[in-house]
Amino acid sequence: MGDDDRPAAAYVERMATDTVLERAARSVLFELTVAIENEPVSLILTDVNGIVLSRTGGDSALFTALDRVDLAPGFRYAETQVGTNGIGTALEVGRPLLVDGDQHFSGPLRSFSCAGAPVTHPITGAILGVVDLTTAAQNSNTLLLSFATLAATRLRERMLDDATELDRAIFSAYRSACRRSSRPVVAVGDEVVMMNSLTRQQFDSPDQMAILERTRDIGGETTPVTILTELPSGTVARLSYEPTFTGSRLAGGVVRITKQVASLRLSTSKANVPTPPAIAGASPLWRHTVQAVVDACRRQDWLVLDGEPGVGKTALIRAAHQLVPDRGLAVLDATALGDDLLTEASDELDSGSDLAILHAHVLNDTHLAALADLLQGPQAQEPPRRPWVVLTRYPQDSTDTTPLLRMFPKSITVPPLRHHLDDIPDLVRSLLDTLGATGLTLSPAASNQLARLAWRGNVTQLKKALEDTYRRQRSGVVEIDTLPPACRSTTRRTLTRMQALERDAIVDALALHAGDKTAAAAAIGMSRATIYRKIRQFGIVL
C-alpha cells in the first residue's frame, strides 16, 4: 500500500479553549453518549477546521481501531488531509452526509462508516464544527445520519439557550424583518452580523462588503436612520436602519435595503476630462467622487465636501484645482484662524482667488452668519468672475450650518477608506513616493494585510503607518512582520489606550522571538493560554 492510500491526519497542538461550541457540547454530548452507550459507535466532535475536539462512546476495540487511523483528539480530519470522510467532506459541502466503507478515499478508512453533520451557530449561521458518528462498516445504517443530525440540532439549540439576551433580541428582530420583507436584509449587533439570501443574490461580494461596512457605521444609532450610498458596482442603495432594544439596552439594528437606479457613470465626454495626477485610486466609487469634485471646480459650482477626518478632502480640493489654469486657490482652516477667518477670507476674495474653508463645522452662529453675509456678493457674480468656494465639514458634527449651506447647491460625501479598500495599493505607492521612499515596496501579503484593516483614521492613518514602516525599513520589500503592530491586528473594535499598548507588546514579542508564542509569552510575563487568547482577541496576524 502506497503512502497516497494512507490517512495523513496531522496532529495539531491546541491550547485550552472555551468556545461557544465546546460550552454547548459539555452537556449535550454527555446526554447523547449515554443514549448510545451500549452501541458499537463513537461520537466525535470537531471544530471548523476538522480538528477532533472530543471522542466518546464506543468500546475499547473500536477506540483501538480509531487510534490506528489517528481519528482521535488533536488530529485534523479535513478533506484535504485524508480525502473523502464524514468529517472533512461534511465541512466542505456544508450539509449532513454518510460516508460508507468503500466511499472513503483512504484505504485504512474503508473499514469504517462515518455520518457527519455540520454544527452551525444559531445566530450567525456560521459553521462551527462537525458532530460525527463512526462505527465499523458492517454496522452501518441510516440511523447514523439521523442521530448525527439530531446531535447537531441539539448543540445548536443549546447554543441559542446560552446566547446573550442582546444576541437573541437582534436575532428575533432579524427573523421578523426577513418574514415581513421581500427585500435584502442585514442585521448587526456587537458580536453578530447576518444577511439574508436576497442580499447575497442581488449584490456581489464587493457590494456586500460595502453594505456591511456602511451598516456598521450606523449600527450604534438609537433612532431610525435612512441613508443613500453608492456601492462599488455603481448601484445606489437605500439603507433603512431600525434599532433593536432589549429593555433600555441597544442590541443592534436591522437594515432593509432597496436598490435605487444605477448611478450615472461618467459619460464619454466626461471620461475625457483629465483626472488629477496627485490623486491615487482607481476604484469606481473613488473615481466617481473625484470626477464630481473636478466637475464642480471647472463649472465654479459652490460645493460642500462632507467626510470623516483624514479621508482626503483637502487633497482632493487642491488636486481638482490644479486642472484649472490661471486661478489661485486660498485654503483657510477655520480651526486654526478662529476670529481671523473672516478677515483672511475677505482679503482672498478681493484678490480674485478661489476659496476653500476647512472645518466649517467649528464655526459658531455669529461666524456662520458673518460668513454668509461675506459670500453674498461673490455668489451674485456670474462665471468666470465668480470665485469657486468650497467648504469642508465632518458629517457627524451636529453644528447647524443650514443658513450658510443654502448658498451651496451641492454636497459631496468623500467616502472613508474602508469603503474603497481596493485603492490601497495605489495609495500606498503614492504615499511612499511622497515620503521619499521610492525604493520601498510592499509584498503581496503585506498589501493584503493592509486591505483587511478598518482604517478608522482613513488615509491619514495609512500615511502614519507607512511613515512608521519607512522608519523601520528604508528599501526593499516590506513583509508583514515589518508593518507597525497596529497593522498586524485585524480587530474592528476600537481599542483603549491600554489595550493598544498590550497588543503592541504582544506583536513586538512575537516578532522578537520569530513567532514562538511560548517564548513571547514568557518575555512579557503572560501564560501561554493568555497569549493565545489575546492573539485571537486582537486578530494578530503571525
Neighbours of 98 (CB within 10 A): 20
Last residue in a domain, options 364, 380, 415 = 415
- 384 and 431 in one domain? no
d(CA 57, CA 40): 8
Render 181-199 in DSSP notation, one character per residue: -SS-EEEEESS-EEE-HHH
- 169 and 155 in one domain? no
Contact between 467 and 435 under an 8 Å Cβ cutoff? The reply is: yes
Q: Decide: helix, strand or coil at residue 331.
A: strand
d(CA 92, CA 99): 13
d(CA 306, CA 391): 8
Q: What is the DSSP letter of 489?
A: B
C-alpha 466: how far from its chain's center?
21
Tally the domains of the chain. 4
- 208 and 234 in one domain? yes
**The CATH number of the domain where 189 resides is what?**
3.30.450.20
- 433 and 405 in one domain? no
Grid cell in block for residue 408: 451651496
Model confidence pTM above 0.75? no
pLDDT the model gives residue 264? 42
pLDDT the model gives residue 348? 92
**The CATH number of the domain where 30 resides is what?**
3.30.450.40
- 152 and 26 in one domain? yes
Contact between 66 and 134 under an 8 Å Cβ cutoff? The reply is: yes
**The CATH number of the domain where 362 resides is what?**
3.40.50.300
Residues 6+ apart with CB under 8 A from 219: 188, 189, 241, 252, 253
- 153 and 114 in one domain? yes
Q: Decide: helix, strand or coil at residue 185.
A: strand
d(CA 53, CA 69): 16
Q: Decide: helix, strand or coil at residue 215.
A: helix
Residue whose C-alpha cell is 450604534: 220
d(CA 494, CA 503): 12
Residues 385-397: pLDDT tens digits? Answer: 889 999 998 865 5
* Nearest residue to 430 via CA among 282, 289, 278: 278
- 479 and 408 in one domain? no
- 363 and 286 in one domain? yes
Grid cell in block for residue 377: 456678493
Residue whose C-alpha cell is 429593555: 247
Q: Decide: helix, strand or coil at residue 159.
A: helix
d(CA 271, CA 269): 5
Domain limits at 353?
A: 268-415
Give, for 402, the enclosing helix (H) or strand (E): helix 402-405
Grid cell in block for residue 375: 459670500
Last residue in a domain, options 201, 233, 262 = 262
Residues 474-519: pLDDT tens digits? Answer: 999 999 888 998 888 766 566 676 777 788 888 888 878 878 888 8
- 178 and 208 in one domain? yes
**Ranges of residues in the chain whose predicted pLDDT is under 70:** 1-7, 14-17, 190-191, 261-278, 395-402, 490-495, 497, 542
pLDDT the model gives residue 533? 78
Last residue in a domain, options 227, 262, 297 = 262
**The CATH number of the domain where 471 resides is what?**
1.10.8.60
- 258 and 283 in one domain? no
Burial class (CB in 10 A: 0-12, 13-18, 19+), 491: middle
pLDDT the model gives residue 182? 86
Residues 6+ apart with CB under 8 A from 65: 111, 112, 136
- 59 and 178 in one domain? no
- 273 and 385 in one domain? yes
Give, rounded to a whole angstrom, the gap between the first and last alpha carbons of the chain. 38
φ, ψ dihedrals at 225, nearest 5°: -135, 140
